[in-house]
Amino acid sequence: MYPIVKKEKLADKIFLMDVRAPRVAKTCEPGQFVIVKMDEEGERIPLTICDYDREAGTITIVFQTVGASTERMQYLNEGDSFQDFVGPLGCASDLVDMEIDELKKKKIVFIAGGVGTAPVYPQVKWLHEHGVDCDVIMGSRTKDLLFFVEKMEKVATNLYVTTDDGSYGFHGMGTNQLQALVDEGRTYDHCVAIGPMIMMKFVCLLTKKLEIPTVVSMNPIMVDGTGMCGACRLTVGDEVKFACVDGPEFDGHLVDFDQAMKRQQLYKTEEGRAMLKLQEGDTHHGGCGHCGGEE
C-alpha cells in the first residue's frame, strides 16, 4: 500500500497529494509519470509526476476531477492509501539528458495550460537547481483555476500568467502571450508546451511559424502504461508511437494532433474502439481487453 501523507485542494476540482512511494521517488526524473489505482476495483489512472522528494520517499501528484475515478479519488485523505502506485513510467524530459553547459546557452520557454502547470513545474525546478534560466507562460481559463503561481515564481526566470477571461495577469491565451513577447523582441530556441491537446496544437502552429523547436507532452487515454494495450497510440511524423513508452514527450511539430484528438474520442465508446480496430488493421495493438484485438 502507498499512504497519502499530504492532501491539498489547489483550486476548484484540482487536488494535490504527496504519496509515500520510496522506490519511485528514488529513480524518477522530470517528465515521467505514474499509474495509480485506489483499490481492487479501481481504474488505472495515469498522472505525471509533479514533484518528488528522494529523502522523504514521496511523490507529488496533481489531478483534476473529470470522471468517476478521479471523483472518488478526491475523497481520499491523509492516512488513506493507494493499492497500486506504479512508476516511474515513460521517458524523462530530453532536457535532463543534455549537457548543462549546452542547456545554459539555450533560450527556453515553457507554456503550461491548466493542469499542465503540474508537469511543467518539476522541469522548471530541475533547470533552476542546475543554474539554467527559462521563461514560463502559465495559462488558465480564469483566476480561480490558477495554482502554483508562487512556487513557479521561485524557479522561473520570468513568469507570465495569463487568463482567458482577463481576471488575472495577461488577458488572453498562452499563444497570445508568446506572440506578444516575440513582438517585444524576445527570442527563444526551445519551447516545451504541456496542457490540453487543443492548446498544444495551437502552440505548435504558432511556434512552427516562429521557427521555435517545440516539445509537447502527450496525454492520450492509457490503460496499462507499458506499451501492451496500444490505447495511447499516436502518429509522430510517419511513425506510430505510444505515449507511455516512447513518450510522453514528442516533437510537437510532427505530432498529428487532429488524429490524436479524434482517436481520444473514439476510444471512449465500444463502437469507436471497433472502428479503430478496423481502421488500424494489423498495426492495431488491441491488448487493452476492451476492443477485441487481443482475441
279-292, pLDDT tens digit by residue? 555 555 554 444 44
Residues forming a β-bridge with 240:
235
Query: Per residue in 112-142, is it b (16+ CB within 10 Å) or e — as a string?
Result: bbbbbbbbbbbbbbbbeeeebebbbbbbbee
Q: Is residue 94 part of a domain?
A: no
Q: Is residue 145 part of a domain?
A: yes
Among 127, 89, 125, residue whose Cα is nearest residue 228: 89
Among 216, 215, 242, 217, residue whose Cα is nearest residue 228: 242
DSSP secondary structure string for all residues of 7-42: EEEEETTEEEEEEE-HHHHHH--TT-EEEEE-STTP
The 3-state DSSP class for residue 247 equals coil
pTM of the model: 0.84
106-115, pLDDT tens digit by residue? 999 999 999 9
The whole domain housing 71 covers 2-89
Domain boundary among 217, 232, 250: 217
7 and 63 Cβ atoms separated by less than 8 Å: no
Among 137, 216, 213, residue whose Cα is nearest residue 173: 137
Domain tally for the chain? 3
Domain boundary among 89, 121, 150: 89
Cell of 166: 482577463
Residues 212 and 138 in one domain: yes
**Positions of the chain with pLDDT under 50:** 269-273, 275-276, 287-295
Q: Is residue 256 part of a domain?
A: yes
Residues 139 and 185 in one domain: yes
* pLDDT recorded at residue 295: 44
Domain boundary among 217, 242, 275: 217
